[in-house]
A and B are shown apart, each in its own frame.
Chain A
Amino acid sequence: AQSVTQLGSHVSVSEGALVLLRCNYSSSVPPYLFWYVQYPNQGLQLLLKYTTGATLVKGINGFEAEFKKSETSFHLTKPSAHMSDAAEYFCAVSEGNTGKLIFGQGTTLQVKP
């Protein structure tokens, strides 16, 4: 069965600092991986996704993630945090042919001035 683990339920960075949100997955088949962002009282917005091809994936708002099969990881990074990046971030893996998403527990990103 597929699963996702996000290391760190809360991450706090200073404005302008590097953002690193960790995600490890478990999958018996080549995974489709996603990062979603959720602002308070909003739905989930897709930041980026990995399906096949290039392992470094660029998304919206300056975020990127690298798929590392050997480490079963899909960590999310951004070189310089902005106050507007404060939100909840969810890593997810797609479950085979059903299309269902298996979510990690979420990481709350706090950005300090």
Chain B
Amino acid sequence: DAMVIQNPRYQVTQFGKPVTLSCSQTLNHNVMYWYQQKSSQAPKLLFHYYDKDFNNEADTPDNFQSRRPNTSFCFLDIRSPGLGDAAMYLCATSRPPGGTAYNEQFFGPGTRLTVL
């Protein structure tokens, strides 16, 4: 089945120790998104890629970076995690926006990050 995969599902890191979360997709979608979701809150968009074109949200901290080496994979790098970065991180994909059926986003299961 075509899907969005996130690894690992649970990640524990130490305060200030860089961590990388990964996302892969078999949907062949052009657009990939990274969201941060804290407890009892809606997902908050951090950035997205439209093919190789990177789009950062204005309020995303510099501590968060992303890489997309090819269509299938996208990585979220947190350079120096703080306690406030503990959250669920969700990856999603979609076809390019602009058409009637194109805006549906397909989500992965998420990675829950714990910062000690």
Residues of chain A having any CB pair with chain B under 8 Å:
32, 34, 36, 41-46, 49, 51-52, 90, 94, 96-101, 103-106, 108
Q: Mark B95-116, 1 if CB is under 8 A from A, else 0.
A: 0111011111111111010000
The answer on a CB contact under 8 Å between A99 and B110 is no
B104 to chain A, nearest CB (A): 6
Main secondary structure of the interface of B (DSSP, over half): loop
Provide a sorted-by-A list of 21 A–B residue pairs whose CB atoms are within 8 angstroms: A32-B100, A36-B107, A41-B110, A42-B110, A43-B110, A44-B43, A45-B107, A51-B101, A90-B43, A97-B98, A98-B97, A99-B31, A99-B97, A99-B103, A99-B105, A100-B45, A101-B103, A103-B42, A105-B41, A106-B41, A106-B42
Question: Quick one: which of A44, A49, A51, A100 contacts B90, CB cutoff 8 A?
Answer: A44
How large, as a class, is the contact surface on chain B? 20 to 34
- Cα–Cα, bound, A41→B39 (Å): 10
Residues of chain B having any CB pair with chain A under 8 Å:
4, 6, 31, 40-43, 45, 48, 88, 90, 92, 94, 96-98, 100-110, 112
* A residues less than 8 Å from B98 (CB atoms): 97, 99
Question: Quick one: which of B42, B96, B103, B107 contacts A94, CB cutoff 8 A?
Answer: B103
